[in-house]
């Protein structure tokens, strides 16, 4: 099973008591708060609602099974963090005392060059198995499909699914065959989460495409050329600032930094958080009351590439 982050969602904006309690934590614990920070910005909530409807048609509806769907976007658009939030809110439970666990959702991070036995083994672990049966590949795959049904797992998510289509032909065919077996069992639906290239790959797989027509949710970066989307991005920075574990507000959205954020992240929440987390670690280490310009400058300098003549926040004080 994947170990989920202990999400930190508390805003300190108007909660002095929470801020005081946070400031009593040791530096390592405050660093964990930064690394597990979750702010449900408007695009996050909209996408979460779309995924929820892709899973079931309303809170009282039965889970949708028997189809292959997509959740696509560029790298660092925020897909994995959103899926892990979805997984946490569909975590295993026991219907009653003395009964085994039900796993409403299985989440698998696909690795390069995997074949069907690797996927089947990962699916066993994602549904709580302490060990994987030592049997032949085809038998393992058959047992894996049965396990999904018996453990009440109507949703199987393959994250980084683009690796499936980049695998050697024999391995790719074996994984696609297992995916087809899963959805044909009518016990679950399969989501392929990954880069936008997955959609083009699916167009060449009519037997899989036709298992539901591949309904897809897309998650894109904020388009910084559109005023409303730029405002939404600034709102994201404000929400993150309110949750950073410092004595003072870091005001990441301040006017003199806005052009720098365009250069550093171009609307990507994932790339933004790469820099924020690095800068926050530095600020915590040196006892700063908040993230300051030089912390952002140092974080961006470490990401400067050979040949770059300049970099974001280069002149931040």
Would you state the pLDDT for residue 2? 66
Q: Distance (Å, rounded) from C-alpha 180 to C-alpha 294?
A: 52
CB contact set of 302 (below 8 Å; sequence gap of 6+)? 278
β partners of residue 37:
8
Lowest mean pLDDT among 20-29, 62-71, 125-134: 125-134
Looking from the CA of 29 toward its CB, the CA atoms found within 13 Å total: 6
Would you state the pLDDT for residue 132? 86
Could you read off the pLDDT of 152-179 as tens digits, one per residue?
999 999 999 999 999 999 999 999 999 9
Would you state the pLDDT for residue 282? 98
Q: Distance (Å, rounded) from C-alpha 103 to C-alpha 145?
A: 14
The residue count of the chain comes to 317
The greatest distance separating any two alpha carbons of the chain, rounded to the nearest whole angstrom, comes to 64
CB-neighbour burial class of residue 174 (10 A; exposed 0-12, middle 13-18, buried 19+):
buried
Domain-by-domain residue ranges, the chain? Answer: 16-39+224-301, 42-218
Task: Tell me the fold of 42-218.
Answer: Rossmann fold (3.40.50)
Q: Distance (Å, rounded) from C-alpha 178 to C-alpha 192?
A: 13
Q: Distance (Å, rounded) from C-alpha 59 to C-alpha 190?
A: 20
Q: Is the dihedral of CA 191, 196, 200, 201 positive or negative?
A: negative
pTM of the predicted model over 0.75: yes
Band of the pLDDT at 81, cuts 50, 70, 90?
very high
Question: Is 143 in contact with 178 (CB distance < 8 Å)?
Answer: no
Helix axes 227-243, 42-55, angle to 10 degrees: 90
Could you read off the pLDDT of 83-124 as tens digits, one per residue?
999 999 998 988 888 788 899 999 999 999 999 999 999 999
Would you state the pLDDT for residue 139? 86
Could you read off the pLDDT of 267-299 as tens digits, one per residue?
999 999 999 999 999 999 999 999 999 999 999
The alpha helices in 56-168, defined as continuous H runs, are 79-88, 116-126, 137-150, 162-166
Q: Distance (Å, rounded) from C-alpha 64 to C-alpha 183?
A: 11
């Amino acid at each position: 099973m994947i170990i989920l982050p202990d999400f930190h969602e508390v805003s300190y904006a108007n909660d002095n008591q929470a801020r005081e309690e946070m400031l009593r934590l040791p530096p390592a614990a405050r660093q964990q708060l930064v690394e597990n920070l979750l702010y449900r910005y408007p695009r996050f909530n909209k996408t979460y609602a779309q995924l929820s409807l892709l899973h079931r048609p309303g809170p009282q509806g039965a889970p949708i099974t028997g189809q292959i769907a997509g959740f696509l976007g560029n790298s660092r658009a925020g897909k994995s963090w959103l899926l892990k939030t979805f997984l946490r809110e569909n975590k295993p439970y026991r219907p009653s005392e003395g009964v085994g666990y039900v796993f409403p959702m299985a989440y698998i991070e696909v690795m390069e060059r995997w074949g069907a036995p690797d996927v089947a083994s990962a699916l066993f672990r994602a549904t709580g198995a302490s060990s994987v049966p030592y049997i032949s590949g085809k038998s393992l795959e058959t047992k894996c499909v049965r396990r999904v049904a018996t453990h009440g797992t109507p949703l199987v998510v393959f994250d980084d699914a683009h690796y499936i289509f980049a695998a050697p032909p024999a391995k790719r065919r074996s994984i696609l065959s297992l995916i087809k077996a899963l959805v044909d069992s009518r016990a679950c639906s399969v989501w392929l989460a990954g880069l936008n290239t997955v959609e083009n790959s699916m167009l060449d797989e009519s037997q899989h495409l036709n298992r539901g027509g591949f309904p897809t949710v897309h998650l894109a970066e904020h388009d910084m050329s559109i005023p409303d989307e730029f405002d939404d991005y600034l709102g994201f920075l404000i929400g993150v600032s309110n949750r950073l574990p410092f004595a003072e507000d870091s005001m990441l959205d301040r006017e003199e930094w806005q052009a720098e954020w365009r250069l550093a992240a171009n609307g990507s929440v994932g790339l933004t958080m790469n820099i924020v987390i690095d800068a926050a670690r530095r600020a915590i280490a040196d006892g700063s009351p908040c993230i300051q310009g030089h912390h952002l400058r140092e974080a961006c300098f470490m990401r400067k590439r050979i040949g770059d003549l300049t970099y974001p926040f280069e002149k931040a004080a």
